[in-house]
Each structure stands twice: as C-alpha cells, then as structure tokens.
C-alpha cells in the first residue's frame, strides 16, 4: 500500500509512479468519474495517474504548477471588480490566488481533499483571502446556485471527457453563470469541441518559460513530468525552461462564452 509523499519513489516518472493498488485513495464518487469501469490502471491511463498525484503527493504537484505560471495576457483578460467568481477544479490555487481580489466573493470548487487543504492554507495567508471559500464538488454536479456568478472559470482542469467535465460539466458551468456573465476555460484542450459549443478562442503571444525554483528542481521535475525532455533540461542547467523544451503548449490561451440573458 502506498502512503502519501512516499519517499521510496523520488524521481519515478508519472506514468510509472502509481499502481492499481493506489486507487484505494479515491472516494466512491471519484472512482465513478475517474475509473468508471472499475479496473483503472494509472500506468495505462495517465489522466488517472494525475488524479492519484493530487491525492498522494499534492506538494509535488504544487511545486510543478508553481513553475508553470499563466501568461499575463490571460490574467489581464479576466474581469476585475465583479460580485462573484466561481472557479472549478481550483487545485492548489494557481489561478485562484490571481482571482481572489477581483470579486466580492470567490468560490473555489475542488474535489481532491489534499489540494483543498493546500488552497485553504494559501488563501489564509493571502491578501483578500477572506473573500474565498473552498468547497468540495465536481464539474457535473456543482454545489452552487444557478445564475449566481459573474465569472465561472476552470484552468487546466476541464476536458470533454465526462469524468473531467464533458457535456454535463459545461452545462453546469453555464447554469451557474449569471446572464451577461462569462464562462471561461483557461489553457483549453479540444478547441474544436469548445468552438462547437459556442466558445471563442483567445491566444496571447510572446515567449514563455517555466520558472522552476532552481536548475536542480527543473531537472527533478522534468524527470517526473516531462521525461522526454529531461536530458535536455539537465544539459541546459537552467532554472527557466522554455515550454517548447518541455514539449507542451504554454499556458497562454483561453476559450470563453458570454451567457445570454
Ligand atoms: C491540472 S489540475 C489544475 C488545477 C488548477 N486549476 C491549476 O490551474 O493549477 C486539474 C484539477 O481539476 C480537478 N478535477 C479533476 N476532475 C474534476 C471534476 N470532475 N470536477 C472538478 N474538478 C476536477 C483536479 O482535482 C485538479 O485540481
């Protein structure tokens, strides 16, 4: 049985980090979404491996996202001075901490309990953190009143797959949005799917790099999360690593929809 923050697997890449034995960490509601057939294998399903990461090694995940900051254009696009913001799949708060001063109230919905704890701790230390509330929930069943938010947003969390949003999740986000408000999917995948659902794509230009704490951390985290880039990251020996080197799209885009009256 694996325990949280297991010291026996430093450096093991994400695809090989967990086994089916680790699925015991998931609640029944989580299993029904992330391994619905009941036979999930995190070595064959990397999405499932990410879910185990959030629950077994949340601080490791937080170190990764702390390095992968959002493009300033994305942050500039998001509204300020609104009444209520709902963020779904808030994680350890990469976007939440950017949003917290922008609304009278912010509701951060996050299913993974260890990430909720990290986010609550960060909000407790943040200016305007008292405006934030961290609650449990899923895209397809948001515990938030209809028409109650000016902005309903998800960052690096929503996909068309039913367990991670899907048709039901998008409908829920739109239900929660107030007429005249916006639903925004930050760092989207599946642009065609979102376009077919009436979403407009926005992309901000310019070079972007992940900003790790040190060259050593860059090498360590690349070994776990970007193994194909690990040798090059070690060779560069730098704290800042261009996203092209990591082999992923930078967090520079979004897709949004204005919800009509
Ligand atoms: C890659 S993380 C992104 C976290 C955060 N938004 C960020 O940008 O750092 C994906 C997040 O989506 C959450 N998530 C996964 N499935 C979900 C679902 N069905 N409903 C709501 N959140 C979900 C995960 O728990 C995780 O916090």
Report whether pLDDT(219) > 60: yes
Residue with the smallest CA separation from ligand 1 atom 16 is 164
pLDDT at 1 (0 to 100): 39
φ, ψ of residue 153 to 5 degrees: the values are: -140, 150
Residues 247-260, mean pLDDT to the nearest whole number: 96
The DSSP annotation for 134-162 comes to EE--BTTB--S-TT-EEEEEEES--BSSG
Residue with the smallest CA separation from ligand 1 atom 22 is 89
Q: What is the pLDDT of residues 206-217, one digit of tens each?
A: 999 999 999 999
Which of 89, 100, 111 to mutate to test ligand 1, by most ligand atoms within 8 A of the CB atom?
A: 89
Separation between Cα atoms, residue 239 and residue 218, nearest integer Å: 6
Among the atoms of ligand 1, which is closest to the Cα of residue 115? 27
Report whether pLDDT(139) > 70: yes
Q: What is the pLDDT of residues 89-118, one digit of tens each?
A: 999 999 999 999 999 999 999 999 999 999
3-state secondary structure of 74: helix
Separation between Cα atoms, residue 240 and residue 219, nearest integer Å: 11
**Percent of the chain at pLDDT above 70?**
96
The residues, ordered by sequence, that sit 6+ positions from 52 with a Cβ below 8 Å of its Cβ are 17, 18, 22, 23, 25, 26, 42
Among the atoms of ligand 1, which is closest to the Cα of residue 50? 1
Report whether pLDDT(3) > 90: no
Task: Find the 204 Cα to ligand 1 centroid distance in Å.
Answer: 23
Task: Find the 233 Cα to ligand 1 centroid distance in Å.
Answer: 27
Residues 4-27, mean pLDDT to the nearest whole number: 83
What band does 7 get if pLDDT is binned at 50, 70 and 90?
A: low
pTM value is: 0.96
- List pocket residues of ligand 1, CB cut-off 6 Å: 33, 54, 65, 88-91, 94-95, 110-112, 115, 138-139, 155-157, 163-164
The answer to whether 135 and 108 are in contact (CB under 8 A) is yes
Report whether pLDDT(2) > 60: no
pLDDT at 5 (0 to 100): 52
Report whether pLDDT(8) > 70: no
In whole angstroms, how large is the CA radius of gyration of the chain?
18
The pLDDT mean for the chain works out to: 95
Query: What contacts 24+ positions apart, CB below 8 Å, involve 228-233?
Result: none
Task: Find the 49 Cα to ligand 1 centroid distance in Å.
Answer: 13
pLDDT at 6 (0 to 100): 56
pLDDT at 193 (0 to 100): 98
Residues 111-135, mean pLDDT to the nearest whole number: 97
Task: Find the 83 Cα to ligand 1 centroid distance in Å.
Answer: 23
């Amino acid at each position: 049985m694996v325990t949280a923050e297991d010291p026996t697997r430093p450096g093991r890449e994400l695809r090989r980090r967990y086994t089916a034995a680790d699925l015991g960490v998931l609640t029944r509601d989580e299993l029904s979404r992330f391994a619905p057939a009941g036979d999930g294998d995190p070595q064959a399903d990397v999405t499932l491996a990410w879910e185990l990461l959030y629950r077994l090694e949340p601080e490791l995940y937080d170190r990764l996202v702390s390095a992968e900051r959002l493009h300033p254009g994305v942050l500039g696009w998001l509204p300020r001075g609104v009444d209520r913001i709902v963020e779904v799949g808030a994680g350890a708060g990469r976007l939440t901490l950017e949003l917290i001063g922008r609304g009278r109230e912010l509701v951060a919905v996050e299913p993974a309990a260890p990430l909720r704890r990290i986010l609550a701790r960060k909000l407790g230390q943040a200016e305007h953190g008292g405006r934030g509330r961290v609650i449990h929930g899923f895209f397809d069943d948001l515990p938030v009143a209809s028409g109650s938010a000016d902005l309903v947003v998800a960052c690096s969390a929503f996909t068309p797959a039913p367990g991670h949003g899907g048709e039901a999740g998008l409908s829920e986000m739109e239900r929660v949005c107030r007429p005249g408000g916006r639903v925004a999917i930050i760092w989207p995948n599946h642009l065609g799917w979102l376009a077919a659902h009436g979403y407009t794509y926005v992309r901000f230009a310019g070079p972007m790099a992940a900003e790790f704490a040190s060259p050593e951390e860059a090498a360590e985290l690349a070994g776990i999360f970007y193994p194909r880039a690990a040798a090059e990251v070690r060779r560069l020996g730098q704290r800042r690593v261009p996203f092209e080197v990591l082999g992923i799209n930078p967090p520079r885009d979004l897709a949004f929809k204005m919800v009509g009256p």
